C-alpha cells in the first residue's frame, strides 16, 4: 500500500446516536422524532426501529476498544439531544450528560480524538410538537443546547459540527416525507433548511463565546451533478438545479452570505422567510467543513428519468459507485468557495455481507474505500485542503428508513447476540492507515 497522505492527516470512523445507542428508555432520555417516526407502521423496512440498535449505550467501552484496534485516531459520534435535555428546553438531564462524559473519558484514555455532532437528526419530540424546525423558536432552543455542550465539553473535544446533513432533514424529512418527521410540503422544507442554517450560525457564536477550543463547523452531504446527456440542454439545466438545491443552497449562504438566485426563482412562493441579519449570522466563519460523500447526482430531464450506466456498479442502497466525482467535487469547492480545512466526515457503502464463522469477506467495500481514498488524494494534489477522512461506519447499524437490512459497518454486528466481527475491510482500513504512517493523537 502506498503512502498518499501526510502524517498529521486525521483518520477516523463515524457513527450517530440514534443509529447505534439503543437504550431509548434509559437514563432519563426523552423521546425523539426518530423514535416516533420509526414506530409508525410501514415507515421503516421490516418495521425496524432504534430501540436496541447496537446497544452501544451499554457496550460503548468495547466499541471504543474496537476503534483503538483499528489504529484510528479520531471518532465522530453524535449527542442525542433528548438524552441530555429530554424535552429540548428547560432542565438538563445529568444522567445523559454523564453517558457522553464516560464516552469522552474512554476515548481520551485510548488516545482517540472525539469529534462531535450536535444534531444527527434526533430532535426532541416535544420540540417537534411545537413545530419542530419549521418553528423559528427551535433555533433558540438549539443554540442553548450548543452553548451548554460547549460549556461542558468545548475544551475536551477536537471538533463540533452543529448539524449533520441539513439537506436530509429539510428535503427527506419535510419535502419528500420519507424521514422523520414525515412531512411533505416544499415551503416547509425550505423554511426548515433556513432555520437549520440560522441555528448553525447562532450556535457557532454561542460556542465561541464559551471559550471553546474545539474546531467548529457543519457537515453537508454533497455531490456534483452530471447531466445524463451532456449534449441535452434540458439535462444540463436539470444538473444546474440539482447542484443548486443540494450544494449551492447550503454553500452559498455559509460562504457568501446569500442564497443562490436560481434556486430562489425555482422556489417562487415556497422560498423561506428570512429576517434582516439572518444571512450574516449564517455566514459566521467556520474552522472546518465536513463533507459526506456517497455518490454523484445523475441528472436527467426525461420522465421517467434516465438511469446512470452503473459502470462501477452499485451498492445495496442502489447508490451508484462513482469515486472520481468525489475528486471533482472537492476541487470545485476549493476554487469556488475557499473553504476552511475539509474533513470527509462520511464515506462508505452497504454491501451484501455474509458472516462466515469469524469472518466477513467484503472485497467490494475494500475497493470502494480504496477508490474513494485515491480520489481524496487526487483532490489534495489539485489544491483541495482535505485534512481528515472518517469511514461510515464503525458498526453496522440502524440505517434510517432501510432499517437493519443495509450494512455499512467496518464491523459486522450480529443483532441477535450483539457480537461484533471485524470485516476484511476493517483490517484493510487499519493497514491503509498504518501505511500512511499516521502519528496523530495516538501516542
Residues labelled as active-site residues: 165, 346
* 292 versus 440: smaller Cβ distance to ligand FCB: 292
Cβ of residue 346: shortest distance to ligand FCB, in angstroms?
6
* 9 versus 400: smaller Cβ distance to ligand FCB: 400
As a whole number of angstroms, the distance between CA 335 and CA 332 comes to: 5
Handedness of CA 257, 263, 269, 271 (dihedral sign): negative
Cβ of residue 400: shortest distance to ligand FCB, in angstroms?
6
DSSP E strand stretches across 270-315: 288-292, 297-299
* 36 versus 78: smaller Cβ distance to ligand FCB: 78
* 16 versus 199: smaller Cβ distance to ligand FCB: 16
Quickly count: other Cβ atoms within 10 Å of residue 393's Cβ: 24
Cβ of residue 208: shortest distance to ligand FCB, in angstroms?
25
One of 165, 235, 353, 362 touching ligand FCB (CB under 6 A): 165
Per-residue x/- marks for ligand FCB, 366-405, CB under 6 A?
Answer: --------------------------x------xx-----
Angle subtended by helix axes 363-381 and 424-435, to nearest 10: 30
Per-residue x/- marks for ligand FCB, 299-338, CB under 6 A?
Answer: ----------------------------------------
Q: How many residues of this chain interact with ligand FCB, rule: CB under 6 A?
A: 12
Ranges within 104-163 binding ligand FCB (CB under 6 A): none
* 175 versus 399: smaller Cβ distance to ligand FCB: 399
One of 5, 11, 13, 16 touching ligand FCB (CB under 6 A): 16
Residue keyed to cell 447542484: 243
Q: Does 408 bind ligand FCB (CB under 6 A)?
A: yes
Cβ of residue 382: shortest distance to ligand FCB, in angstroms?
26
Cβ of residue 200: shortest distance to ligand FCB, in angstroms?
16
Q: What is the CA radius of gyration of the chain?
A: 20
Cβ of residue 99: shortest distance to ligand FCB, in angstroms?
20
As a whole number of angstroms, the distance between CA 101 and CA 276 comes to: 38
Residue keyed to cell 445524463: 228
* Residue 11 and residue 440 in contact, taking contact as beta carbons nearer than 8 Å: yes
* Residue 222 and residue 290 in contact, taking contact as beta carbons nearer than 8 Å: no
Ranges within 280-299 binding ligand FCB (CB under 6 A): 292
Give the residue from 284, 348, 423 showing the smallest Cα distance to 15. Answer: 348
Quickly count: other Cβ atoms within 10 Å of residue 416's Cβ: 6
Read out DSSP for 32-101? Answer: BHHHHHHTSTTSSGGG--SSSTT-HHHHHHHHHHHHHHTT--EEEEE--HHHHSTTSSSS--HHHHHHHH
How many residues belong to the chain?
Answer: 443
Q: Does 413 bind ligand FCB (CB under 6 A)?
A: no
As a whole number of angstroms, the distance between CA 425 and CA 168 comes to: 27
H helices, E strands: number in the chain: 17, 12
As a whole number of angstroms, the distance between CA 203 and CA 150 comes to: 10
* 103 versus 168: smaller Cβ distance to ligand FCB: 168
∠369-373-376 over CA atoms, to 5°? 145
One of 118, 160, 168, 239 touching ligand FCB (CB under 6 A): 168
* 87 versus 247: smaller Cβ distance to ligand FCB: 247
Per-residue x/- marks for ligand FCB, 196-225, CB under 6 A?
Answer: -------------------------x----
Cβ of residue 227: shortest distance to ligand FCB, in angstroms?
24
> Segment contacting ligand FCB (CB under 6 A): 143-151, 164-172, 191-199, 352-360?
164-172
To the nearest 10°, the Cα dihedral for 82, 85, 90, 95?
Answer: 140
One of 122, 346, 362, 396 touching ligand FCB (CB under 6 A): 346
Give the residue from 270, 204, 33 showing the smallest Cα distance to 130. Answer: 33
Q: Does 164 bind ligand FCB (CB under 6 A)?
A: yes
* 199 versus 315: smaller Cβ distance to ligand FCB: 315
* 13 versus 281: smaller Cβ distance to ligand FCB: 13
Cβ of residue 292: shortest distance to ligand FCB, in angstroms?
6
Cβ of residue 116: shortest distance to ligand FCB, in angstroms?
14
* Residue 134 and residue 191 in contact, taking contact as beta carbons nearer than 8 Å: yes
Which residues, 6+ apart, have CB-to-CB distance to 90 below 8 Å?
none
For ligand FCB, the binding residues (CB under 6 A) are: 16, 19, 164-165, 168, 221, 292, 346, 392, 399-400, 408
Amino acid at each position: 500500500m502506498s503512502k498518499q497522505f501526510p502524517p498529521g492527516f486525521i483518520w477516523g470512523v463515524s457513527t450517530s446516536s440514534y443509529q447505534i445507542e439503543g437504550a431509548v428508555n434509559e437514563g432519563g432520555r426523552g423521546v425523539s422524532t426518530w423514535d416516533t417516526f420509526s414506530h409508525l407502521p410501514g415507515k421503516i423496512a421490516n418495521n425496524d426501529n432504534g430501540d436496541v440498535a447496537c446497544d452501544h449505550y451499554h457496550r460503548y467501552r468495547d466499541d471504543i476498544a474496537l476503534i483503538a484496534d483499528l489504529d484510528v485516531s479520531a471518532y465522530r459520534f453524535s449527542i442525542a439531544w433528548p438524552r441530555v435535555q429530554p424535552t429540548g428546553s428547560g432542565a438538563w438531564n445529568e444522567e445523559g450528560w454523564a453517558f457522553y462524559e464516560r464516552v469522552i473519558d474512554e476515548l481520551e484514555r485510548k488516545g482517540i480524538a472525539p469529534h462531535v455532532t450536535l444534531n444527527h437528526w434526533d430532535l426532541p419530540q416535544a420540540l417537534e410538537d411545537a413545530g419542530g424546525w419549521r418553528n423559528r423558536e427551535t433555533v433558540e432552543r438549539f443554540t442553548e443546547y450548543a452553548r451548554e455542550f460547549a460549556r461542558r465539553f468545548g475544551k475536551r473535544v477536537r471538533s463540533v459540527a452543529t448539524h449533520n446533513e441539513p439537506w436530509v432533514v429539510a428535503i427527506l424529512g419535510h419535502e419528500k416525507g420519507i424521514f422523520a418527521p414525515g412531512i411533505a410540503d416544499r415551503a416547509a422544507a425550505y423554511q426548515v433548511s433556513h432555520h437549520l442554517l440560522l441555528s448553525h450560525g447562532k450556535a457557532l457564536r454561542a460556542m465561541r463565546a464559551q471559550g471553546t477550543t474545539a474546531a467548529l463547523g457543519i457537515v453537508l452531504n454533497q455531490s456534483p451533478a452530471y447531466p445524463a446527456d451532456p449534449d441535452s440542454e434540458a439535462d444540463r439545466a436539470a444538473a444546474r438545479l440539482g447542484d443548486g438545491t443540494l450544494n449551492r443552497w447550503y454553500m452559498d449562504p455559509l460562504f457568501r452570505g446569500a442564497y443562490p438566485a436560481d434556486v430562489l426563482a425555482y422556489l417562487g412562493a415556497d422560498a423561506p422567510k428570512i429576517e434582516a441579519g439572518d444571512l450574516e449570522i449564517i455566514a459566521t466563519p467556520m474552522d472546518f467543513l465536513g463533507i459526506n460523500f456517497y455518490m454523484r447526482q445523475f441528472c436527467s430531464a426525461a420522465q421517467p428519468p434516465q438511469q446512470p450506466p452503473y459502470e462501477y456498479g452499485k451498492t445495496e442502497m442502489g447508490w451508484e459507485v462513482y469515486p472520481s466525482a468525489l475528486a471533482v467535487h472537492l476541487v470545485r469547492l476549493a476554487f469556488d468557495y475557499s473553504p476552511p480545512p475539509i474533513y470527509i466526515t462520511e464515506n462508505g457503502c452497504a454491501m451484501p455481507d455474509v458472516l462466515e464463522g469469524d469472518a466477513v469477506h467484503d472485497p467490494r467495500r475494500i475497493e470502494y474505500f480504496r477508490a474513494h481514498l485515491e480520489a481524496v488524494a487526487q483532490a489534495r494534489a489539485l489544491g483541495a485542503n482535505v485534512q481528515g477522512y472518517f469511514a461510515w461506519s464503525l458498526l453496522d447499524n440502524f440505517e434510517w428508513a432501510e432499517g437493519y437490512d443495509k450494512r455499512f459497518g467496518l464491523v459486522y454486528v450480529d443483532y441477535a447476540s450483539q457480537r461484533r466481527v471485524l470485516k476484511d475491510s476493517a483490517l484493510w482500513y487499519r493497514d491503509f492507515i498504518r501505511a500512511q504512517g499516521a502519528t496523530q493523537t495516538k501516542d
